[in-house]
Structure 1
Amino acid sequence: MQYPKKELREAEGSTTVFSAAIMDLFTQDLSLDDLANLPLKDLAEWLQSKGRGRFKDPEGLAKTIQRAVRSSYRLDQVMSESIDMILGILVREIRSLEKAVKDCDQGIEDLVQTVPEYQCLTSIPGVGPVYAAGLLAEIGQIERFPDQTSLAKYAGLTWPKHQSGRHEAENTP
C-alpha cells in the first residue's frame, strides 16, 4: 500500500496534500466515513469546483482519496477529536504562512517597480518579480562593473581557466 501523500502525488491529475482543494476537503465537517461513503461523482464534482477545474481526472483523484481514507487506520473518538483539532490549527497556520508569503512577494514587487533594470530582467522568460528583485539586490548598482565579464565573474557564471604554459585544460570543475 502506498502512503496517501505519495498516492495523491502520483495519481492521474496529481495534486499535493497541501493544495487548497485538498486542505478544504480535510477541514470540512465530514468524518472519514462520510468521505469514504460519499458518491464518487459528488466528490469529483466538489474537487473540480474547489480546484477551479485544474484537475485532469477528478474522478481518478476522488477514487485515490477514497481508497486512502478506506485504508487508513481508525482512531477512537477522543483521539480523533484531538487530532482533528491539531490538524485544523496546522491548516490555519499553513494558510497564514501562505498569505504572508503572498504579502511579502507583493511588497517586493511594489518596491522594485521603479527600478529600470527590473523591467529588463522580468522580460526574460522564467524570471519573475521575486527572482528579478533578488538579482537586483545582489548586484546592486550595475554601473560598478566595468563590463559584462566582470558582472559574470561576480555572479559566478564563468569558469576559471586551468592552464599551464601553453596547455589549457578542456575540463574545468
Structure 2
Amino acid sequence: METVLYVGIDTSLGNHVVCAMEADGRIVARTTVANDRDGGEQLVTWLRAQAAPYARLAVGVEATSVYHAPLMEWLAQEPRLHPWQPTWYVLNPKVVEKFGETYVDRGKTDRADARLIADVLRFGRVTPWTPPDPRFAALQVLTRHRRQVSQLITQEKNRALVQLFCVWGQYAHTDEPFFSNVFGAASQAVLARYTPDTLAETPLADLAAEIAAVGRNRLKAPENIAQTLQRLAHRAFRLHPEERDARQQSLVLHLDTIRALERQQRELDTVIARDFQAFRQTLTTIPGIGPVYGAGLLAEIGPVERFTSE
C-alpha cells in the first residue's frame, strides 16, 4: 500500500501555518511560512524534506477569501514536487468546520486548523482540486469584474434616484413627453447644470435649444421635453437652500460615478469580446446571447472536458 503524507495548510494574509500528518494521524512536522514567493520556496523545500520517506503527497487548504489561491496555483505548477504525484484539495470551509465539531477538545487556532485540514484529507471523501485552465481563469476575472461593475451601477442609480426625488419630485416617474432614459446623456446634462429653481427661470426657447444640443439633435420634440421639465420644476417641493444644495451636489456626484462606471463597463466589454474570440464555442448561436454573456457562461462552466458526461 502506498504511503501518503497528508499536509494541511491554514492560510491567512500574512502567513501559512502548515501541518504534515501520517495516515494513522501522527503529526510528522509543523512549520509556518510567509504568504509570498519566498515563503512558497521555503514551503517547497520543507515539503520535499518531509515527503522523502513517502510515496505520495496530499495537500489541502480551506477556500478562505483569496489568500490560498496564489499559493495553490503556484504549488500545483511546481515540478520539484512532481515525484510525489501530489493531489491538491481546496476544501469548503463548512466541510472543515463540521468535521471539526467531532473534536470536543479542539482549540480554534491556526495550528489546530492546519491539523484539522490534514485530518480531513486523511479521512477522505473530499474531491480533489484541479488547477484552473489559465485561459478560463483570466476570462473569469474579467467577467466577474464586469458583473461587479454592473451591480455598482445599479446601486449608484438607486442612490441617485433618492436624491433625484427629493430635489425634482416626479422627474423619474412622469408620463409626459420626456427623456427616454433618466440616466441618459441629455438628462444627466440637464440635472448637472440646473436646479428646479434655475430651470424654471430659464426661457423655454433657450432650454429647448440646449436640450436639442446635448441630445445631438436626436431627441424628438425638444420643445415638449423643455415644457415637461419646467412643469416638473414648478411642481417640485422647495427644500431649505442648504439641504437643496447638498442633495443637488450629492446627485451630481452620483451621476459622475455612474458615468465613470459605465465607461469601465464599456472597456471591459471590449476586452472580454476580444478575449472570447480565442475560444471555440457555440453559445453565441443562441438568440440573445452575445459575446459578453457568452463569455460569462463559458468562464463559469470552464473546459467541458472536466465533465464526465453530457
TM-score by shorter chain over 0.5:
yes
Distance 2:285 2:204 in 1: 45
Aligned length: 142
Which of 256, 278, 298 lines up with 1:136 in the alignment? 298
Larger radius of gyration: 2
Which of 215, 235, 244 lines up with 1:51 in the alignment? 215
Q: Say if 1:13 and 1:56, in contact at 8 Å, map to a contact too.
A: no
Q: 1:44 to 1:142 in 2, by over 3 A?
A: farther
The residue number in structure 1 matching 2:170 is 3
Q: Deviations over 1:96-135 (max 9, x none)?
A: 2212222222221122122233xx6546654322122123
Q: Provide structure 2 residue ranges, at least 5 long, that are not aligned to the other structure.
A: 1-168
TM-score of the aligned structures, taking structure 1 as reference length = 0.66
Following superposition, the deviation at residue 18 of structure 1 comes to 1.3
Q: 1:12 to 1:79 in 2, by over 3 A?
A: closer
CA RMSD of aligned residues (A): 2.8
Distance 1:11 1:144 in 2: 55
Q: Matched residue of 2:183: which SS?
A: coil
Following superposition, the deviation at residue 71 of structure 1 comes to 0.5
Check if 1:37 corresponds to 2:201. yes
The residue number in structure 2 matching 1:112 is 276
Which of 224, 228, 235 lines up with 1:71 in the alignment? 235
Which of 91, 101, 104 lines up with 2:255 in the alignment? 91
Which of 172, 190, 194 lines up with 1:25 in the alignment? 190
The residue number in structure 2 matching 1:101 is 265
Q: 1:45 to 1:123 in 2, by over 3 A?
A: farther
The residue number in structure 1 matching 2:164 is none
Q: Say if 2:179 and 2:187, in contact at 8 Å, map to a contact too.
A: no
Q: Provide structure 1 residue ranges, at least 5 long, that are not aligned to the other structure.
A: 151-173
Following superposition, the deviation at residue 25 of structure 1 comes to 0.9
Q: Deviations over 1:8-64 (max 9, x none)?
A: xx3336422211211111111x44322112222322222222122332232222211
Q: Say if 1:13 and 1:57, in contact at 8 Å, map to a contact too.
A: no
The residue number in structure 2 matching 1:164 is none
Q: 1:122 to 1:47 in 2, by over 3 A?
A: farther
**Percent of paired sites with the same residue:** 37
- Greater per-residue strand proportion: 2
Check if 1:61 corresponds to 2:225. yes
- Greater per-residue helix proportion: 1
